[in-house]
Amino acid sequence: MQRPAIDIRNMFPVYGRKIALVVVLLLAGLKSHGQNLLQYDNRVIHFGFTLHGTYNVLQLNTSQQFLDIDTLQNIRQRPFYGFGLGAIVDLRMGKYFNLRFVGPAISFAQRNLFYDFKNSDRNKKVEMESVYIEFPLELKYKSERHWNTRFYVMTGFKYSYDLISNVDAPRSLNDPIVALNKNMFSYEVGVGMDLYFPFFKLSPELKFAQSVGNMLVPDDFVYTQALHSIYPRVFTFSLHFE
């Protein structure tokens, strides 16, 4: 099966323009003020909170059984948007580096799989819902500050625990389950911008994360046997307030 294509241009068809407009208005507002929070970056530790929206997809890899099951024609996925929030602890490590702990954070996600058989009466939809408690640890590299703005890149690792995992749920041909492991480790990369206001710092950030290992839990039913591996992917737009 060919992996589903991910067109980033279509991920946020409406929200992307709104986000860009908000950022432009914020930058215009910053220029109308003097330089804010002059001593902010000299503090060793900062606290804050984050709000984020997510786009949740799966990297699916089919197994040899998929090719051997001539009645199964295709496996499709439907990604969904999600959301979450969390706490921030930011540690200054130098002029250009910060170590950031974003957690505990909670994130809601859903992905659906559709199994198409030769006999359409056998077609099935598998709903995959997750509520993650997440603990990301990130290294942030910052540029020089220009007036009230500063750009940065980040990378890190994240541990996630699924509070509503269906690993132990009963399975049958009429009640299909495709379960993911409760525990997940992911790597993250992203870019963002620090905006310094008179009383707080706002950081819009765009980030990509993917699980390090195969998250698929095998069982004896065709819906799982047709798959070799599943790697959850998440595109996240965050607003960090510190």
Any alpha helices (H) in the chain, and if so which ranges?
A: 15-31, 64-68, 222-225
* % of the chain exceeding 90 in pLDDT: 56
pTM: 0.81
* % of the chain exceeding 70 in pLDDT: 86
d(CA 22, CA 181) in angstroms, rounded, equals 38
Which pLDDT belongs to residue 6?
Answer: 41
Question: What is the token pair recorded at 219?
Answer: 């069982």
Distance from CA of residue 79 to its chain's centroid? 12
Pick the more confident residue, 33 or 12: 33
What are the structural domain ranges in the chain? 8-241
Which pLDDT belongs to residue 28?
Answer: 60
Query: How do residues 200-210 score in pLDDT, each as one tens digit?
Result: 999 999 999 99
CATH code, 8-241: 2.40.128
Radius of gyration in angstroms for the set of CA atoms belonging to the chain, rounded to a whole number: 21
Q: Which amino acid is at 29?
A: G
Query: What's the mean pLDDT when you consider all of the chain?
Result: 86
- State the distance between the two ends of the chain, measured CA to CA, in whole angstroms: 45
Query: How do residues 100-152 score in pLDDT, each as one tens digit?
Result: 999 899 999 999 999 999 888 888 899 999 999 999 999 999 999 988 899 99
Contact present, 187 and 161 (Cβ < 8 Å): no
d(CA 124, CA 117) in angstroms, rounded, equals 9
d(CA 45, CA 168) in angstroms, rounded, equals 42
Contact present, 154 and 190 (Cβ < 8 Å): yes
d(CA 242, CA 37) in angstroms, rounded, equals 12
Query: How do residues 151-192 score in pLDDT, each as one tens digit?
Result: 999 999 999 999 998 888 888 878 888 999 999 999 999 999
d(CA 187, CA 192) in angstroms, rounded, equals 17
Evaluate if residue 25 carries a pLDDT over 90: no
